[in-house]
A and B are shown apart, each in its own frame.
Chain A
Amino acid sequence: MAIVEREPLALTTGSGPSAALAPLGVLARPTTSTGWRSWVTTVDHKKIGIMYGVCAFFFFLVGGFEALLIRIQLAQPNGTVLSASVYNQVYTMHALTMVFFVIMPMAAAFANYLMPIQIGARDVAFPRLNALSFWIWIFAGIFVTSSFVLGGGPDGGWFAYAPNTGVAFSPGHGMDFYAIGLQIGGLASLISSVNLIVTVLNMRAPGMNLFRMPVFTWMTFVVQVLLLFSLPVIALALFLLTFDRRFGANFFNVEQGADPLLWQHLFWIFGHPEVYILILPAFGIVSEVIPVFSRKPIYGYPFMVFSGIAIGFMGWGVWAHHMFASGLGPISVMAFSLSTMFIAVPTGVKILNWMATMWGGKIRFTASMLFAVGLVAMFTIGGLSGVTHAIAPADTQQTDTYYIVAHFHYVLFGGAIMGLFAGMYFWWPKIFGYLLSEKLGKWHFWVTLVGFNLTFGPMHILGLQGMSRRIVTYQETDGFTFWNGVATLGAFMIAAGTLIFLHNAFYSLSKWRKAGRPNPGPDPWDARSLEWMIPSPTPEHNFDEVPVIHSLDDFWHRKYGEDAEGRAVRIRATEDVVQKGTATDVHLPAPSYFPMLLGLSFPIIGYGLIFNLWLCIPGGLLLVFSLFGWGYEPVDNEDLPHGDHGGHDDHGGEHAGHAEEVSVD
């Protein structure tokens, strides 16, 4: 909350407020816009988006390394690379890393960077809370990963079924790191979901009504709503687990009569919306990429939006299909079978619409488009194996076999990761100001696609042959040897593909520098949405002036009209439509140290809960200090020039008042 004190006299002096800028006398208001300090203190949604992306990619390498360890262990019968105990930790951490620290934050990176621009806003609704989300998330990631060097990682699988996770069966600290680390990470997502929901609902440019928003923004919005309502459920489950493990509560203590299915229900009520949280951003990205490279508007825009909303709703009614083998009873099983089959319908609508968008289009197979088409194809395979899970008798056979592993890698790697890569090639020039090499991008795509199918295709066969998921090794006589060997080969191909991407990022950068840093221009792909109307890379203030929106794909319609036969005809040159990015008088929220400090306090408290409760005291003090610092720090920096605000003398009282603001979040 902020209170603005009206003291008109202090306004014009310009010197008064500075004493109040550091009310605690410790951390002066940061002012730099370059160097590490500008990143640590930034509240700019674009910088936060880039930090999400870079950190998520780092975790992608970590999670990929864990995947390679798994595949090396399983390459041959009787593998001895990892002990059973370490193997349990590695597959659990692989899943946690990829789900919570790669796909979710990578989607958050795109959401943060693009969504405000796509709706014509200058930032999200609460810029400091946005920074806070990022810092809490990254510290949660470091916290969970640090478990490896602090006595062993979580080893209960990513869904951590009770009572396996109780102290009796998991005596190390691994599951504590799981429970507390995900709790912290969930807090980050909760804050971010509130923030982005408010941004979409409240911060749209004039004329940008909900049904003129790009599909990516729509899918981001649906995902944030899913997060808002699913996170409290997993938060509750993790609280119960933490209380059981740390304070001796009895929620999952079977000896006391606790019901282990409670955990499964709570987890999957979160967990099934979570899978849509993982895939919908990629769907949104692909829905931006395919129209641009087909030179056609998205086919059936309302159907794309409503199918996304339908997935969001129906995603709440299918969770127990993860539990068909747990003895739910015939009526539950039938109900959840049916709902699971139904949820395939809106997904099918999306697949059809992407294909119909490409149909008759003037398709350019850029690297981005290849990844997008890759998603459509690979996700369809994953979706079809998903429908087989809806049939309960078949699912009972498939539960906890490699068939399941194959299925969710087809939807999460073949779906989500492919979509995210499509987004990276697509928006790279917008974000970093240079184009990635198309040639290397195509190598990246084909190596990844072949490697991916070699890795996860055979797992369908292995699963149907009866190979258990999470099994540490197998015997020669099991007959799993050949396809496991193929899968390991494929995994290394995926790793090679990822290295090509990394090489591409640096190679294209140095080539661009040698060529004298040519600017790719605001609109290198001849695209449709608002982010292409502003220079690349995006200027700090996004828009020189906030555009007024008249239609869906407004930017496209500023460039193109239609001839008598409905074909697109250029009516204005791109240079005449785009903004120059030269405005200097835009008032932006000032950076702050406190989001980072507040975020830092959570892992300290977390370590305290695990190792020594005394550690919670410095953590708690840091929390309180940061909250106070946050509350007493004015939102705007009065020392900076105000540009266009200089003229508003009648509002001067508020200028002075900013320094006196008290805000408590």
Chain B
Amino acid sequence: MTDAATVEAVAASGHGDVHAHDPHATNTGISNEKLAMWAFLGSECLLFGGLISTFLLYKEKLELFPEFKGRTINQFGAEIFDIPFTSVSSFVLLMSSLTMVLAVSSISRNDRTRAMVWTGATALLGSGFIAGQVYEFTAFYREGLGYTTNIFSSAFYTLTGFHGVHVTIGILLLLVMLNQLLRGKLHAGNAEKLEIVGLYWHFVDVVWVVIFAVVYLIP
């Protein structure tokens, strides 16, 4: 999570200066921040696991209800979802993982210019995905599928909305990184910060792969 926290932690262990930026000062050899991010992502798995389970539960039940006028969930999905559009925005998000890798690779080679370009590109691609989600939500709303319309809509908007919020937080983190790059404060010596933001970003992408498959593709 933070390099500052490493300093904090190592200062607490009493030899702050000597090991402040030596990840091997920890028992596991993994820095505190990275380990904290892994633990946090483990926790996030359960959050999204619960959201996806909730969605699946209510997707099953949908066919029982009169508003669906005998349509199967497949027919309903085919009517409301624009699979090609969402596929494109999914592709955009997945490409952002590639640019994220390139950004981390650049900064660890101390190539700040490229790191800036790729970090900016990642944030931009993420924003493109969010824009697509906003468009999609608006379109569904116009078609009469509001948040409170039925149990399917509540589950759908909550699941994809939670993911959207995660992407948004990721974009903010990327912008903070970009700001630090612009001010010349990121370099090969503390590239791990960008790597940790990258961990979060890849996680959010992987979650989207699951959500896209479960919500849009699997009948």
* Interface residues in chain A, defined as those with a beta carbon under 8 Å from any beta carbon in chain B: 1-5, 43, 121-129, 190, 193-195, 197-198, 201-204, 228-233, 235-237, 239-240, 243, 247-251, 253, 256-259, 262, 266, 269, 541, 543, 546, 586-589, 634-636, 645, 648, 651, 654-655, 658, 661-665
Q: Could you name 25 residue pairs across A and B whose Cβ atoms are closer than 8 Å?
A: A2-B6, A3-B3, A4-B7, A4-B190, A124-B9, A126-B36, A190-B43, A202-B28, A229-B46, A231-B43, A233-B47, A236-B50, A256-B65, A257-B61, A257-B64, A258-B58, A258-B151, A543-B14, A546-B13, A587-B11, A588-B12, A635-B4, A651-B18, A662-B185, A664-B173
Smallest CB–CB gap between B42 and chain A, Å?
Answer: 6
Count A-B contacts at CB 8 Å: 208
Q: Does B91 contact A (CB under 8 A)?
A: no
Residues of B125-154 at the interface with A, using a CB-CB cut-off of 8 Å, are 147-148, 150-151, 153-154
Smallest CB–CB gap between A341 and chain B, Å?
Answer: 26
Residues of B110-125 at the interface with A, using a CB-CB cut-off of 8 Å, are none
Contact status A1-B4, CB under 8 Å: yes
Smallest CB–CB gap between A503 and chain B, Å?
Answer: 37
Known: A587-B14, A648-B17. A3 touches B50 (CB 8 A): no
Partner among B17, B35, B186 whose Cβ is within 8 Å of the Cβ of A645: B17
Q: Does B78 contact A (CB under 8 A)?
A: no
Q: Does B217 contact A (CB under 8 A)?
A: no
Known: A1-B180, A203-B26. A232 touches B4 (CB 8 A): no
Residues of chain B within 8 A (CB-CB) of A256 are 65, 150-151
Contact status A250-B154, CB under 8 Å: yes
Partner among B7, B26, B30, B196 whose Cβ is within 8 Å of the Cβ of A636: B7
Q: Does B166 contact A (CB under 8 A)?
A: no
Report the Cα distance A228→B35, complex, angstroms. 13
Task: Other than A4-B20, A262-B54, give 20 A-B pairs with Cβ distance below 8 A.
Answer: A121-B13, A122-B13, A123-B9, A125-B9, A128-B8, A129-B5, A202-B30, A202-B35, A228-B42, A229-B43, A229-B46, A250-B148, A250-B150, A250-B153, A257-B151, A258-B58, A258-B151, A262-B57, A648-B18, A665-B2
Report the Cα distance A663→B13, complex, angstroms. 19
Residues of chain B within 8 A (CB-CB) of A193 are 39, 43
Q: Does B98 contact A (CB under 8 A)?
A: no
Residues of chain B within 8 A (CB-CB) of A233 are 46-47, 50
Contact status B4-A243, CB under 8 Å: no
Contact status B7-A194, CB under 8 Å: no
Report the Cα distance A258→B150, complex, angstroms. 9
Smallest CB–CB gap between B162 and chain A, Å?
Answer: 8
Partner among B8, B9, B148, B155 whose Cβ is within 8 Å of the Cβ of A247: B148
Contact status B40-A194, CB under 8 Å: yes
Partner among A198, A247, A654, A661 whose Cβ is within 8 Å of the Cβ of B32: A198
Known: A586-B14, A588-B11. A257 touches B65 (CB 8 A): yes
Contact status A228-B39, CB under 8 Å: yes
Partner among A240, A586, A635, A655 whose Cβ is within 8 Å of the Cβ of B8: A635
Q: Does B82 contact A (CB under 8 A)?
A: no
Contact status A2-B13, CB under 8 Å: no
Contact status A127-B43, CB under 8 Å: no
Chain B residue at minimal CB-CB distance from A634: B4
Contact status B8-A126, CB under 8 Å: yes
Residues of chain B within 8 A (CB-CB) of A541 are 14
Chain B residue at minimal CB-CB distance from A206: B27
Contact status B27-A663, CB under 8 Å: no
Contact status B158-A249, CB under 8 Å: yes
Report the Cα distance A157→B27, complex, angstroms. 44
Chain A residue at minimal CB-CB distance from B146: A248
Smallest CB–CB gap between B27 and chain A, Å?
Answer: 5
Query: Which of B21, B39, B185: most chain A CB closer than 10 A?
Result: B39
Smallest CB–CB gap between A178 and chain B, Å?
Answer: 18
Residues of B175-215 at the interface with A, using a CB-CB cut-off of 8 Å, are 176-177, 180, 185-186, 190, 193, 196-197
Residues of chain B within 8 A (CB-CB) of A235 are 47
Residues of chain A within 8 A (CB-CB) of B64 are 257
Contact status A664-B176, CB under 8 Å: yes
